[in-house]
Amino acid sequence: MKKLIYIATMALGVLVTSCADDFLATEPTSTIDSEIVNEIMAADVEQLQAYISAGYDEHYWAYQKAENSDELGAMSEMFFTDLMSGDATSPQRLYGWYIWDMQNDNRLSNYRRPRSLWSPMYYIIVNCCNPVIEILANLEEQTETTKSILYQAYALRAYNYFKLINYFQQPYQVNPEALGVPLYTEDATKNIPGRAPVKDVYAQIISDLDAAYALAKGKGFENGKTALSEYSIALIYANVLLFTGDYENAAAYAEEAMKGANLITDAETLVYNGFNSIVDMTETLWGYDVTAETAAIYASFMSYMCPYMPGYAGLGDPVLIDTSLYEKINANDVRKQWWGTTLAPGMSPADVLPEFMIANGWGKTCPNKFLDVALFGGGMFESDIIFQRVAEAYFVAAEAHYLNKDETNAKKVLNDIMKTRIEGYNCTLSGEALYEEICLQKRIELWGEGKRLFDVKRRNESINREGRNFMPEMAVTNFNGQDAVMVFQIPKSELDNNDFITPDQQNP
């Protein structure tokens, strides 16, 4: 008997599987444990750049987290804003992803548009910028690299809040006391805020831009054009100051941004540039470098904007310029050729517009401005995305000077850029007519680049779509820039889950 028990004990010893503590300790490999990330970041604070890179990615990559072709992050923003403000039109609806933007009916809390702009896109702030600022702002020994990471974090945060506040509320001057957006400046797990007043959001934006610009000034493009530079920060700052009414400084910052790149002076280069490369589009201040790995194929900017490609545009849902705006382009303006059917040098005769474009009479107003790199031997829909161009800075400067009652400098800056667009251009207008000229030339210049909507809101311009030749089944909507429909509602998921925003605080 004893022997048997002995054997049994032996057997147990052999067969009982290991039960050490480390048997139950497992580590993820598809993701990285925050403890490990924190250790790496603590050992080398310069690695914090990876958070900021994630922030840049998020602007572009937002589409990957969405399921629909109208949620392409910054790529959608480039043209849904123009569709909303009337300078662009989508003439028919086969796929119809963007028609509700054009109807100014894509703003309710349960719609995709507000939701996808809100998060992850612009509220990446809390995960990408805030932790960097929390660590680096208090760092005693700054290196040139940490300073560079820090100013990018401040600038990106300011940029994102500027976008958020203008999508989700009326412009600053309408009511600085109105409820804006939740203002996070630290780790979101510590504290969930409600809607901060518009003026508080602007105060944060300006304080961040001051901090960013102080650190960035004089550094040039030290991180390349895929990162925010001193010029980008200056341009963001100038735009912010146009909203707050500090026109003098707006002009000064815009003039700083103008130093970031030279204008293209050669007509052919400008007309057939294609806006597909942050290198070849030499006016670029900030953009996203798309590669084969990051190409979004159908769900991409060029898919909608380049009708020569078999994307959404080429298959039937092109985005055209508003005919009335097109008619306003001077016949001698080289930019008139940004629309039309002339093939760019390097495109092959096989690259013709789809038949339906011609048959429907859309040839004249379809964009030639944006041409996918694949037409020139590059990868399919691998075109870069250009967020900021130096040309914008000229128009911002001109407007700021004008609003600052300095017509001389307004005209000077306007002439500086316009003479590269219209041979012999020399503006002799003054007063209201000068202002209208600045605004018109800016609309033409920046068509399809996502700049128009905020101008319409800031200036409370009228959107006029009367007599337009598009989608007869859709009602024509005309609004003013400061009508309630121009403000997005706070997304339903935010209202459902943020205990500090009550239903009566929702936008109308």
Partner 1 sequence: MAPADATLSFSYVGMKTVDTKVNGRTKIDVVFDADATQIEELIVVAYGTAKKESFTGSASSVSSEDLAKKQVSTVTQALAGVVPGIQATTSSGQPGSGATIYVRGVGSINGTQTPLYIVDGMPYDGSIASINPADIESVSVLKDAVSTSLYGSRASNGVIVITTKGGKKGKSKVTFDAKVGVVSRLVGEYDIMKDPAEYIQTYWMAKKNINGGDGLKAAQDTAMEIGYNPYISTGDVWNLTGTDEETGEVYNYTVDKIIDENGNMVATQRRYTDDWGQLAFRAGKRTEYTLGIEGGNNNTQHFMSVGYLTDEGIARGTDYERLSGRMNISHKVNKFIDLTGSLAYSRGEQNLQYSTGTALANPFFFSQQMAPIYPVYAYDAEGNLILDKNGDKIYDWGDGTYGTRANSPNQNPLATDKANVNQSVTDQVSARGSVSVKLIDGLKFQANVGYDMHNGIQTVHQTGQFGDGKTAGGRTYKYNTGNSTLTSNQLLTYNKQLGENSFDFLLGHETYQYDYRYLYTHKSKFFDQSGNPEFSNAIIMQDMTSYTSKETMESYFANVNYNYADKYYLSASVRTDGSSRFAPDKRWGTFGSVGANWRISQEEFLKDAEWLDNLALKASWGTVGNNGIGNLYAYKTQYQVTNANGDFSVGKAYVGNPDLTWEVSENYNAGVTASLFGGLLTVDFEVYKKYTDKMLYNMPQPPSSGISSIPMNALSMENVGYDYDVALTPIKTKDVLFSVRLTGGHYENKVLNLPESKKENGITSGTQRIMEGYPLYSYYYYKSAGVNPENGKAQWWAEQEILDENGEGTGVMETVKVEDYTKATKYDLGTALPDFTGGIILNFQYKNFDFSAAANYQVGGLTYDSWYATLMHTGDSAGSNWHRDALRAWTPENPNTDVPILDGDRNATTFSDRFLIDSSYFNLNNVSVGYTLPSSLTRALHIQKARIYVVADNVMLRTNRQGLDPRQSLSGSTSVNYSAARTVSAGITLNF
Q: Site residues for partner 1, window 130-159 (CB under 8 A)? A: none
Q: Which segment (25-33, 203-211, 421-429, 454-462) binds partner 1 by CB under 8 A?
A: 25-33
Question: Minimal distance in Å, beta carbon 251 to partner 1?
Answer: 34
d(CA 360, CA 337): 19
The stretch near partner 1 (CB under 8 A) out of 71-79, 176-184, 246-254, 328-336 is 176-184
Q: Does 127 bind partner 1 (CB under 8 A)?
A: yes
Three-state DSSP state, 73: coil
**Contact present, 88 and 76 (Cβ < 8 Å):** no
Q: Which two tokens stand for residue 121?
A: 């896109």
28 binds partner 1 (CB under 8 A): yes
Of 69, 91, 102, 115, which one interacts with partner 1 (CB under 8 A)?
Answer: 115
CB of 91 to partner 1, least distance (A): 12
Rounded distance between C-alpha atoms, residue 505 and residue 508, angstroms: 9
Report, in Å, the least distance between residue 297 CB and partner 1.
6
Using the contact rule CB under 8 A, the part of the chain among 149-157, 342-350, 411-419, 487-495 near partner 1 is: 487-495
Q: Cβ 18 to partner 1, closest distance in Å?
A: 7
Query: Considering CB under 8 A, how many residues would be counted as binding partner 1?
Result: 99
Residue with Cβ nearer partner 1 (429 or 495): 495
Examine residue 192 and tell whether it contacts partner 1 (CB under 8 A). Answer: yes
Residue closer to partner 1 (CB basis): 61 or 79 = 61
Site for partner 1 in 243-302 (CB under 8 A): 289, 291-294, 297-298
3-state secondary structure 380-442: CCCCCEEEEEHHHHHHHHHHHHHHCCCHHHHHHHHHHHHCCCECCCCCCCCHHHHHHHHHHHH
Question: Rule CB under 8 A: is residue 112 a binding residue for partner 1?
Answer: no
Q: What are residue 197's DSSP bridge partners?
A: 179
What does the block give as tokens for 255?
Answer: 């003039």
Q: Among 73, 185, 202, which Cα is nearest to 129's?
A: 185
377 near partner 1, judged by CB under 8 A: no
For residues 53 and 237, what is the distance between their CA atoms, to the nearest angstrom?
21
* 350 lies in the site for partner 1, by CB under 8 A: no
Name which of 300, 233, 267 is nearest 419 in CA terms: 267
Contact between 468 and partner 1 (CB under 8 A)? yes
- CA distances 161 to 156, 209, 227, Å, are 9, 11, 18
> Which positions from 296 to 315 touch partner 1 by CB under 8 A, shown as an x/- string?
-xx----------xxx---x
H helix or E strand, kind and range, residue 157: helix 144-167
Nearer to partner 1, 29 or 408 (CB): 29
Q: Which stretch binds partner 1 (CB under 8 A): 70-78, 114-122, 408-416, 426-434?
A: 114-122
Residues 6+ apart with CB under 8 A from 447: 82, 87, 88, 321, 325, 338, 367, 369
Q: How many CB atoms lie within 10 A of CB 406?
A: 16
Residue nearer to partner 1 on the CB measure, 42 or 433? 42
473 counts as binding partner 1 under rule CB under 8 A: yes
Which amino acid, one-letter code, is at 125? Answer: I
Torsion of CA 481, 485, 491, 496, to 10 degrees: 130
Instruction: State which residue, 260 or 491, has the beta carbon closest to partner 1.
Output: 491
What part of residues 34-93 is at the interface with partner 1 (CB under 8 A)? 34-35, 37, 47, 49-51, 53-54, 56-58, 61, 93
Shortest Å distance, C-beta 254 to partner 1: 29
Window 383 to 422, contacts with partner 1 (CB under 8 A): none
Residues 5-24 that bind partner 1 (CB under 8 A): 5, 7-8, 11-12, 15-19, 21, 23-24
Nearer to partner 1, 185 or 409 (CB): 185
376 binds partner 1 (CB under 8 A): no
DSSP per-residue letters across 46-96: GGGHHHHHHHHHHHHHHHHHSSSTT--THHHHHHHHHHHHTSEE----SS-
Q: Determine the interface stretch with partner 1 among 186-194, 233-241, 259-267, 401-409 (rule: CB under 8 A).
A: 186-194
| Lookup: tokens for 428 | 């002799």
Question: Under a CB-based contact definition with an 8 Å cutoff, are residues 485 and 164 in contact?
Answer: no
- Token pair of 484 as six digits: 């309630």
Query: Site residues for partner 1, window 214-233 (CB under 8 A)?
Result: 226
**Which CB atom, from 142 or from 360, has the smaller least distance to partner 1?**
360
User: Which of 86, 91, 180, 182 is close enough to bind partner 1 by CB under 8 A?
Assistant: 182
With the C-alpha atoms ordered 318, 322, 325, 326, is the resulting torsion angle positive or negative? positive
Could you give the C-alpha distances from 382 to 96, 273, 280, 287, 499, in angstroms and in order?
A: 23, 15, 14, 13, 42
